[in-house]
Amino acid sequence: MKGRLKMNESFLSIAQEKQDRIRNEAMFEFGENGYEKASTNQIVKRAGIGKGMLFHYFNSKYDLYVYLIDFALKKIQDDYLNFSRTEPDFIERLKVFASDKWRFMQRHPELATFISSVFVNDSDIIPSDYQKQIKLLINQRMESLFAEIDLSLFREDIDINHALKLVHWTFDGYQADVIKRLKGKSMVHESWETYWEEFDHYLITLKTVFYKEDAQ
């Protein structure tokens, strides 16, 4: 699946903390500016290493980029997607999914920024293997969102597929709104918790309108 990564193995034998620092700062730099406009000079400055080292570990800017994609995808798979969620109540499932996503974005902002930038802005310059892999992850997540939902909770006078999509859009719209309100402020844990509790009240209303009366 993956062609051998052109990385100098000595990179893996340096202190973990240093590896992390280099990877994180590189991912931030790429994530914020896209591949072309990201600067290797900025990366070494941010990571506090000499320029020689970066090109000693990774032969070129592009090799570094590909290594980071590989690393990020593995990490996302392990830390974020490898749970199976079984909550049958669709609205509750969406809540769990959103919660997982936010927790991950807080814990690993560099991964979130990086991989989304790769997919949105630069997906055409990366090896096709990784293109496929990213699309696969997205599809898997989408499927697991709708798998084994208890559809009997929904009221029967509406099209179930409409209901699922409408509720899904509502969640997405709410989250986009939170992001807009959070812009500028740092995404601290506290902030999100606040919005979280706020939205809980809305979920009750959402259930009231989309679910059967006795499903409360």
Q: How far is the CB of 153 from DNA (least distance, A)?
A: 52
Number of residues that bind a copy of itself (CB under 8 A): 25
Q: Which of residues 54-113 bind DNA (CB under 7 A)?
A: 55-56, 59-62
Q: Which of residues 137-156 bind a copy of itself (CB under 8 A)?
A: 155
Q: Which of 6, 45, 51, 165 binds a copy of itself (CB under 8 A)?
A: 165
Q: How far is the CB of 3 from a copy of itself (least distance, A)?
A: 26
User: Does residue number 28 form part of the binding site for a copy of itself (CB under 8 A)?
Assistant: no
User: Does residue number 50 form part of the binding site for DNA (CB under 7 A)?
Assistant: yes
User: Does residue number 173 form part of the binding site for a copy of itself (CB under 8 A)?
Assistant: yes
- Hunting for tokens 């509502």 — which residue is that? 170
Burial 125-146 (b: 16+ CB within 10 A, else e): ebeeebbebbeebeeeeeebbe
Nearest-CA neighbor of 70 among 141, 1, 151?
A: 1
Tokens of residue 19, six digits: 């590896």
Span interacting with a copy of itself, options 45-53, 55-63, 99-107, 207-215, rule CB under 8 A = 207-215
**DSSP state letters, 115-140:** HHHHHHHSTTTS-HHHHHHHHHHHHH
Please list the residues that pair with 154 across neighbouring strands: 211
How far, in Å, CA of 136 to CA of 139, rounded?
A: 5
Please list the residues that pair with 7 across neighbouring strands: 58
Which of DNA, a copy of itself, none interacts with 50 (beta carbon under 5 to 8 A by kind)? DNA
Contact 57, 11 (CB under 8 A): yes
- By three-state DSSP, how is residue 154 classified? strand
Site string for a copy of itself, 30-69 (x = CB under 8 A): -------x--------------------------------
Q: Which of residues 7-46 bind DNA (CB under 7 A)?
A: 10, 13-14, 38-42
